[in-house]
Amino acid sequence: MVGISKPNYYEILGVSRFASGETIRRAYRELSKRYHPDTTTLPIAVAQEKFHQINTAYTVLISPQQRADYDQQLWQSTLPPAPTLQQIQQMYSAYLDPTDRPLSAGELFALFLLGLTFVGCLLLVVALGLARSGGV
C-alpha cells in the first residue's frame, strides 16, 4: 500500500513535537496504564504491541540526546529528494521558460488598446496646445 506511513513517536504518545519532558511523562503514564497487557480489555497481542510502541516512544523522547537524533532523522525524512541534474537543466531550459512564449490574442488586443489610448492622448495634447496658442 502506497502512502501509508507508521505514526511517529510524538503521535504514538499524543503529544506535540515541542512537548516538555513533563508532558511526555504524563502522556506515557496515562497510556501505559490504559494499554498495559495486565490491565486492558484488548486482546493480549494487540495490547503488547501497543505497549511496546509506547515504551519505545517514551524511551527515545525522554532522553535529550536520543530525542535530538530522532528529531533530526524525522526532519530529514520530510525533505523532498534533491533534483537530478537533468531536472535542473529542464527547469532552466530556454525552451521551457514560461516567460518566453508568444502573446495570446487577449494580450495582443490589450496592447492594441493601450497603444490606441496613448496615441489618442497625444493627439488631444497637441489639439489643446494648438487651440490655446491660436486663441491668444
Contact between 42 and 35 (Cβ < 8 Å): yes
Cell 491660436, residue located: 134
Q: How many CB atoms lie within 10 A of CB 51?
A: 19
**Digit-coded pLDDT (tens) for 47-71:** 899 999 999 999 999 999 999 999 8
Q: What is the pTM of this model?
A: 0.54
* Alpha carbon distance 90, 82 (integer Å): 14
Joined grid coordinates for residue 62: 525522554
- The 10 Å CB-count burial string (b at 16+, else e) for 2-32 is eeeeeebbbebbebeeebeeeebeebbeebe
**Digit-coded pLDDT (tens) for 24-39:** 999 999 999 888 888 8
User: Lowest mean pLDDT: which of 39-43, 99-103, 120-124?
Assistant: 99-103
* Alpha carbon distance 39, 47 (integer Å): 9
Displacement of CA 95 from its chain's centroid (Å): 28
Higher pLDDT among residues 58 and 2, named by residue: 58
**Digit-coded pLDDT (tens) for 67-117:** 999 988 888 777 677 778 877 777 666 555 556 677 889 999 999 999 999
User: What Rg, from alpha-carbon coordinates, does the chain have?
Assistant: 34
pLDDT score recorded for residue 3: 45
